[in-house]
């Protein structure tokens, strides 16, 4: 069976995807028994696509013409953003094409309506690549862990932020130099504010919470603090407790609802999330039956992210993807709309330092009560089996 694909957007991840589809076509056929020919690359600018040596005949700038091609079965949306990308996904679904995307901002914002649109047409939207790049966590949570009530998950899901915090902590680089270095590595969003403000992590946390808990949370309601709240003396204070500060996206099922946040948090070594350095992602999941699980790997980059894209492609073609046709409660249109519990009610544990006090971990007071004492306050994260 031939699953003709069209790529919309041929930047870093698009290039990696084109590279696998064209360069590994024989191996993919051998592993799956199916063909995934790349029939079209739609883009505004073909400089990057041409540099990859793609066959000129597949550079087809007219989206409508490509969508009218019956040989195209799947549209891979890698344009990014929430404007043109939304139109692409809507038009692809209306033209009867399945969609695979890495676009966390798009799905966190419009996931419900796009999934409903796909479901009404018996089509699938694959989004494994949207959360934590190469790490196979979306399908794992949605399908493989279905025997579990997920009690909590926490992740470093933005490589740019982890790279900045690592450099600020270990090489003494200041924030601006560390951000510049991360941008040069090619992992940052087109607008790096989305990374450093925690917004990108909030998009991913909203999607991961859907597949983990079957809840749909408006990402704008997730309490958010970005790297701007971290000072070098905070990193040094954490080090005195043999701990590290990480931008942590966290969701927990607690009495009365779900506590969620994206914020710089203190994690003690040897917790694997504390030890995770550089532009990597790591996620812990607490399952009622499995106990604590830990996933780690490359959360960004051309080939690692393309690996997840091609995995989605093969899964939907094989019919094994937990597609929108199935009634699992984890898909955005089926998940239960939920508001996270108020951040202000959390009673820790907190890592505190400053105002002449040695760093310590406290539990009981609220953040506001501690801040009123002039202390620097961060959540302390130490998952236990
Ligand atoms: N800007 C993101 C990061 C890319 O740095 O992790 C992957 O979503």
Average pLDDT over residues 183-201: 92
42 and 83 inside one domain: yes
Candidates 108, 104, 143; CA nearest to 281 is 104
Examine residue 290 and state whether it is found in any structural domain, yes or no: yes
> Residue 246 catalytic?
no
Distance 220 CA to ligand 1 centre (A): 18
CB distance 196 to ligand 1 below 6 Å: no
User: Model confidence at 343, in pLDDT bands (50, 70, 90)?
Assistant: confident
Active-site hit among 204, 241, 246, 339: 204
Q: What is the pLDDT of residue 219?
A: 98
- Smallest CA separation from ligand 1 atom 7, residue: 300
Examine residue 216 and state whether it is found in any structural domain, yes or no: yes
User: Model confidence at 228, in pLDDT bands (50, 70, 90)?
Assistant: very high
| Choice between 280 and 328, residue whose per-residue pLDDT is larger | 280
110 and 20 inside one domain: yes
Each residue of 231-277: pLDDT tens digit? Answer: 989 999 999 999 999 999 999 999 999 999 999 999 999 999 999 99
CB distance 20 to ligand 1 below 6 Å: no
- Residue 191 contacts by C-beta under 8 Å, 6 or more apart in sequence? none
Kindly tell me if the per-residue pLDDT of 325 is higher than 80: no
123 and 154 inside one domain: no
Domain residues for the domain of 15 are: 4-127
Q: Which atom, in ligand 1's list, is nearest to the CA of 204? A: 8
| Pair of tokens at residue 242 | 């043999």
Average pLDDT over residues 189-205: 95
- Return d(Cα 336, Cα 184) in angstroms, integer: 40
CB distance 280 to ligand 1 below 6 Å: no
- For the entire predicted model, the pTM comes to 0.97
185 and 278 inside one domain: yes
Q: What is the sign of the dihedral through the CA atoms of 368, 370, 375 and 378?
A: negative
Average pLDDT over residues 309-337: 86
- Smallest CA separation from ligand 1 atom 8, residue: 300
Question: Domain ends where: 96, 127, 158?
Answer: 127
Question: Domain ends where: 60, 92, 127?
Answer: 127
Kindly tell me if the per-residue pLDDT of 323 is higher than 90: no
Count CA atoms closer than 13 A to 146's CA, side-chain side. 10
CB distance 189 to ligand 1 below 6 Å: yes
Q: What is the pLDDT of residue 72?
A: 98
Distance 281 CA to ligand 1 centre (A): 9
Please calculate the CA angle 86-87-90 and round it to the nearest 5 degrees: 85
CB distance 299 to ligand 1 below 6 Å: yes
Q: What is the pLDDT of residue 322?
A: 54
Examine residue 330 and state whether it is found in any structural domain, yes or no: no
Q: What is the pLDDT of residue 376?
A: 98
Kindly tell me if the per-residue pLDDT of 308 is higher than 70: yes
CB distance 200 to ligand 1 below 6 Å: yes
Kindly tell me if the per-residue pLDDT of 42 is higher than 70: yes
CATH code for the domain of 52: 3.40.50.720
99 and 155 inside one domain: no
Average pLDDT over residues 92-98: 97
Examine residue 329 and state whether it is found in any structural domain, yes or no: no
363 and 222 inside one domain: yes
User: What domain count does the chain have?
Assistant: 2
CB distance 298 to ligand 1 below 6 Å: no
106 and 248 inside one domain: no
| Count of C-beta atoms within a 10 Å radius of residue 46 | 16
Q: What is the pLDDT of residue 275?
A: 97
Average pLDDT over residues 215-240: 96
Average pLDDT over residues 295-305: 96
Q: What is the pLDDT of residue 174?
A: 86
Lowest mean pLDDT among 39-48, 56-65, 167-176: 167-176
Distance 246 CA to ligand 1 centre (A): 15
88 and 191 inside one domain: no
How large a percentage of the chain has pLDDT more than 90?
A: 87
Q: Which atom, in ligand 1's list, is nearest to the CA of 195? A: 1
Kindly tell me if the per-residue pLDDT of 193 is higher than 80: yes
Q: What is the pLDDT of residue 76?
A: 98
Examine residue 69 and state whether it is found in any structural domain, yes or no: yes
Q: What is the pLDDT of residue 326?
A: 80
Kindly tell me if the per-residue pLDDT of 199 is higher than 60: yes
Question: Domain ends where: 62, 94, 127?
Answer: 127
Examine residue 89 and state whether it is found in any structural domain, yes or no: yes
- Tell me the pLDDT of the chain averaged across its residues: 95
Examine residue 102 and state whether it is found in any structural domain, yes or no: yes
Kindly tell me if the per-residue pLDDT of 327 is higher than 90: no
Examine residue 373 and state whether it is found in any structural domain, yes or no: yes
Helix axes 12-23, 25-32, angle to 10 degrees: 70
């Amino acid at each position: 069976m031939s699953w003709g694909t069209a790529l919309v957007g041929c930047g870093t991840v698009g290039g990696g995807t084109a590279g696998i589809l064209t360069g590994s076509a024989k191996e993919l056929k051998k592993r799956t028994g199916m063909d995934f020919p790349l029939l079209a690359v739609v883009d505004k600018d073909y400089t990057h696509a041409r540099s990859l040596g793609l066959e000129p005949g597949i550079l087809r700038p007219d989206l409508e013409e490509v969508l009218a091609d019956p040989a195209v079965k799947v549209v891979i949306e890698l344009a990014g953003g929430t404007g043109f990308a939304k139109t692409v996904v809507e038009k692809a679904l209306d033209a009867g094409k399945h969609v695979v995307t890495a676009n966390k901002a798009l799905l966190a914002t419009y996931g419900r309506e796009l999934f409903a649109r796909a479901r009404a047409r018996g089509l699938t939207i694959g989004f494994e690549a949207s959360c934590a790049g190469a790490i196979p966590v979306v399908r794992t949570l949605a399908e493989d862990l279905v025997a579990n009530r997920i009690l909590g998950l926490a992740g470093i899901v933005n490589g740019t932020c982890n790279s900045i915090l690592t450099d600020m902590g270990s090489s003494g680089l200041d924030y601006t130099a560390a951000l510049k270095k991360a941008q040069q590595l090619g992992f940052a969003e087109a607008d790096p504010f989305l990374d450093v403000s925690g917004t990108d992590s909030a998009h991913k946390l909203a999607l991961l919470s859907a597949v983990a808990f079957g809840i749909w949370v408006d990402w704008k309601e997730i309490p958010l603090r970005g790297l701007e709240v971290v000072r070098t003396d905070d990193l040094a204070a954490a080090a005195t407790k043999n701990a590290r500060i990480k931008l942590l996206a966290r969701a927990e099922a607690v009495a009365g609802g779900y506590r969620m946040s994206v914020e710089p948090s203190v994690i003690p070594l040897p917790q694997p999330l504390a030890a995770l350095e550089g532009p990597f992602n790591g996620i812990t999941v607490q399952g009622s039956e499995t106990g604590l699980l830990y996933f780690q790997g490359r959360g960004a980059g051309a080939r690692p992210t393309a690996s997840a894209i091609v995995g989605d492609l093969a899964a939907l073609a094989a019919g094994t993807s937990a597609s929108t046709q199935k009634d699992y409660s984890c898909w955005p249109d089926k998940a239960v709309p939920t508001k996270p519990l108020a951040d202000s009610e959390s009673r820790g544990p907190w890592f505190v330092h400053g105002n002449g006090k040695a760093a310590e971990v406290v539990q009981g007071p609220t953040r506001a009560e501690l801040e009123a004492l002039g202390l620097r306050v961060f959540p302390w994260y130490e998952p236990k089996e």
